[in-house]
Amino acid sequence: MIAFLKGTIEDITENSLVLDVNGIGYEVLVPGQLLDMLEGIGQELKVYTYMQVREDAVVLFGFLTRDDLAMFKMLIGVNGVGPKAGLGILSALGTEELRFAVLADDAKRIAKAPGIGAKTAQKIILELKDKLDLAEVFEQKLNADRQQEAAVSAGSGMVQDAVEALVALGYGSTEALRAVRAVKADTVADSEQLLKEALKHML
């Protein structure tokens, strides 16, 4: 069992990343919200993992905090919610928003996640509500915010500046973010240099 991985980001795709850990590349499926927080290729990152063993493959799912991983495990414990569906829910809502949706009986909000219908959303609320405590939700949100600040470096502001500049130049936000992510984090010193390097990936 792999509890966590810590290494350098070697590649980033639409829903996963490749983490170089001592020369071995691990492909890890991660929530979209985690991908949005990354600086790009070359960044050091630690993810807490869940390993799914199937007949045809071994799949790793990665999360920025233990809290996110715990919520993922609760989700896949619900009948009818598999690992990919659980990842989709956390990509669409995030851990804290999902907690509030469960406690507020907001099935419509949960059903906005890809592949999740109204019945499954109600089942998630039914099975998770007793496991969550409102006071604990607020405490965990504070802890999660602190962990995210520690896990993602200050370069995120530089990334945002570069993406906004590309959008201002007429590029789509998704296309701009992908180009910025393709730049190795350790090769740029500021947002202007990051923008120049990202533009090369747009050509």
Check pLDDT > 50 for residue 153.
Answer: no
Check pLDDT > 70 for residue 93.
Answer: yes
% of residues, the chain, pLDDT over 70:
85
Question: What is the Cα–Cα distance from 44 to 64, expressed in whole angstroms?
Answer: 12
Check pLDDT > 50 for residue 196.
Answer: yes
Looking at per-residue confidence, does 157 or 23 come out higher?
A: 23
The pLDDT assigned to 99 comes to 87
- Segment 61-77 shows an average pLDDT of 94
Average pLDDT, rounded, for the chain: 84
CATH superfamily of 66-151: 5' to 3' exonuclease, C-terminal subdomain (1.10.150.20)
Fold of 154-203: Helicase, Ruva Protein; domain 3 (1.10.8)
- Segment 103-111 shows an average pLDDT of 91
**Which sequence spans correspond to the domains of the chain?**
66-151, 154-203
Are the CB atoms for 132 and 99 separated by under 8 Å?
Answer: yes
